[in-house]
Amino acid sequence: MLTLLKLPSLTPPPPAMQIITLLQEVVTRWRYRHIPGPRPRWLTGNINDIIKGGLINCTNGWIQQYGPVIRFRLMGRVFVMISDPDAARSVLTKLTNHAQLANPNMHLMTGNLRAMDRFGLLMAKDDYWRSLRTAWQPAFAPPSLRGYQALMDAEARSLVARLEARIAAAEAQAAEAAQAAEAEAQAAAGREGLAVEVHGEMSRLTLAVVGTAAYGVDFNSPEYGGSGVAALSPTTSSAPASAPASSPSGELSLVAACNDWFRTMSPAQRSKWAIATAFPVALPLLRHVACALADGPLAMHIRARRMLSKTSIRLMDDWRARHATGNGNGATTNGSAPAANGTAAANGGAANGGGPAVRAAGGGVAPGSFLGLMLAARDKSSGGRALSDAEIEAQVQTFLLAGFETTANALTFAVYLLALHPDKAACLVAELDRHLPPHRPAGSADGSGLDAADELTMETLDKLVYTEAVINEAMRLFPPAHGTTRINEKPMQILGYDIPAGSTLWIPIAHLHKKDSLWAEPEAFRPERFLPADAGGVEQLAARHPHAHQPFGAGTRMCVGWRFAMQEAKTVLARLFQRLAFELEPGQVPLPLSVGLTLAPKHGVVVRIRRRRHGAA
Ligand code: HEM
């Protein structure tokens, strides 16, 4: 059995444990026997099919073969997949708890490295989750979002400025070549612009936004493992954005740690010790052995978690230091959030020293106040106690990871699709030219060519309906969160099937987004599908199935950061296409994808960027 996973070096578990596991398997098969699905193998279930065929392709095939309710098993866990849009919506809205994720590497963690999985908002349950969600919510209230806008815009403008500087340098080089030899000049002219790997850029940018918006710190500084200089990706490389990177001190950088974390959450990057997760009874013991003798993928996962933990502790220490002295962001000593720049306070938030920020339901907090919210949080499920350091650390890590990768992926896919479809890029640019101030030559104080009067405000963002439609359509074709889960505490019926209590229900978002019966030409990139009727949408929102598009999930567990993500993605896309034009480098159609916890471009996306000629896409 163990050879199925090529584990010759591991000692097989004792016979008693094998017998218990086999009995468990018999019972599981019996409980789910009435639900159609592929035949599972002993112990490993259907994981080999998924590794061979790819998660999305494989489950799409099963849905086609077995219908809208199917079951399959990954190691010890059975999944019931619901691919009918109404049934999926009903599951998402009626059930409150997420199921444990299936990735083996995370189940091999020990001690503090498990904090996020035990206490983080994503995995929390019932009343404990409600307390946490209440604590998080003010960070995403409209006045808080308004306060983040200047930070998001500043990061976007700074990326554009860096790209423009690099393009200018590349052009200067080409001109020199022109002087040297005419043939070379012609070659250079044909390759105008600068080749850039977009996913790396987007990852750095979205992580930087989390740093400033949530914690008021610069994640690119050496203190957080950054180089101190906002680096550009290699100009010609198609290396994955997740390629390990170190700080000058040789330490793993935060962006590399976050990328490694996601990379090792893919089934293809599982440790050989994954087999231990097929023996739930023995897992508490086996995970210690696995960590002590970690192989490559597990060691990478542990290293990433350690870096994330270290960063979270540093953020908490920094906050407390500022808090204790009453300086820095102006924090008080009673757990209230600071009014860093007056923005949120001016917008009616509770960040104005008016009591614990967590009480400001519906109100806002100033940028950088997330830790103030967590310190003020009270767990109503256990008598209103304050959160422990491990619980706060879990929220910090959850915000870091959930807050940057999905948005970076959405932006990367949007740039990819626009570079592939110049007609759609032209529509986007036409909208930007209507609503954003015209181009000015570079030369303002921050080098972005834009002065304060050009700020991309929330009011302007509201007018960018085509930009928003592009992001929605990009997330339809490439949903960064390709699926989500719920667990049913009680038995239930779905489309006539009895679903046993405690089942892991999987909603395949990626499948719904391309279902033939829900979308005309599902593979085509048509942002117009998402235009409101008064903006000339050819296939208006009302004409579509209301539950066909769920990139952020639905119900009470819907993504807490969805407005933050949309605001950031619109700001960044608008700034990029306001000044730059993008062309896809050859060899990237179809785009190789990595399907793990999220959907990401496998080797990044390489585009050639040039400055826009006025009025051109
Ligand atoms: C394009 C970007 C994003 C996408 C596609 C996305 C998608 C999702 C999805 C599908 C879920 C599960 C929803 C459900 O089960 O119904 C989720 C949950 C969550 N997301 Fe996002 N997300 C994005 C950005 C963000 C950002 C910027 C944050 C900021 C912190 C964030 C934080 C979270 C958290 C904490 C949860 C768990 C919420 C809970 O269980 O109460 N996400 N996200």
Amino acid, res. 239: A
pLDDT above 60 (res 446): no
pLDDT above 80 (res 166): yes
Q: From residue 548, how far is each of 24, 88, 407 by CA, in Å?
A: 37, 10, 20
The predicted-structure confidence for 324-365, as pLDDT tens digits, reads as follows 765 444 333 233 333 333 333 333 333 333 334 434 445 789
Atom of ligand 1 nearest to the CA of 129: 41
What is the Cα–Cα distance from 302 to 323, expressed in whole angstroms? 31
Phi and psi, residue 135, nearest 5°: -70, -35
Q: For residue 475, which of 562, 555, 560, 375 has the smallest C-alpha distance?
A: 562
Average pLDDT estimate for 138-148 = 96
What is the Cα–Cα distance from 556 to 510, expressed in whole angstroms? 20
pLDDT above 60 (res 426): yes
- Burial class, 189, CB count within 10 angstroms (exposed 0-12 / middle 13-18 / buried 19+): exposed
Atom of ligand 1 nearest to the CA of 123: 40
pLDDT, mean over the chain: 84
Among 559, 567, 568, name the best residue to mutate to test ligand 1's pocket (greatest count of ligand atoms within 8 A of Cβ).
559
Local confidence band at 171 (pLDDT 50, 70, 90 cut-offs): confident
The predicted-structure confidence for 561-587, as pLDDT tens digits, reads as follows 999 999 999 999 999 999 999 999 999
**According to the model, what pLDDT value does residue 441 have?**
47
Average pLDDT estimate for 507-524 = 96
Q: What residues does each domain of the chain span?
A: 1-103+482-513, 139-481+551-611
Q: Which CATH architecture has domain 1-103+482-513?
A: 2-Layer Sandwich (3.30)
Least confident range from 3-7, 79-83, 157-161, 190-194: namely 3-7
Percent of the chain with pLDDT over 70: 81
Query: What was the ipTM of the complex prediction?
Result: 0.99
The predicted-structure confidence for 537-560, as pLDDT tens digits, reads as follows 655 555 678 899 999 999 999 999
- Decide: helix, strand or coil at residue 499: strand
pLDDT above 50 (res 30): yes
pLDDT above 50 (res 3): no
**According to the model, what pLDDT value does residue 401 have?**
96
What is the Cα–Cα distance from 313 to 281, expressed in whole angstroms? 32
The predicted-structure confidence for 104-141, as pLDDT tens digits, reads as follows 899 999 998 999 999 999 999 999 999 999 999 999 99
- 139 CA to centre of ligand 1 in angstroms: 14
- Give yes or no for a contact between 227 and 248, defined as CB atoms under 8 angstroms apart: yes
Atom of ligand 1 nearest to the CA of 480: 5
559 is in an annotated binding site: yes
The predicted-structure confidence for 75-110, as pLDDT tens digits, reads as follows 878 999 999 999 999 999 999 999 987 788 999 999
Query: What lines the ligand 1 site, CB under 6 Å?
Result: 92, 98, 121-122, 133, 398-399, 402-403, 406-407, 410, 480-481, 484, 551-555, 557-561, 564-565
Q: Which fold has domain 139-481+551-611?
A: Cytochrome p450 (1.10.630)
- Give yes or no for a contact between 267 and 55, defined as CB atoms under 8 angstroms apart: yes
pLDDT above 70 (res 474): yes
**According to the model, what pLDDT value does residue 100 have?**
81
Least confident range from 145-149, 345-349, 500-504, 580-584: namely 345-349
Local confidence band at 453 (pLDDT 50, 70, 90 cut-offs): low
Half-sphere exposure of 131 (CA within 13 A, CB side): 22
Nearest residue (by CA) to ligand 1, atom 6, is 552
Do domains 1-103+482-513 and 139-481+551-611 share one topology? The answer is no
**According to the model, what pLDDT value does residue 20 have?**
76
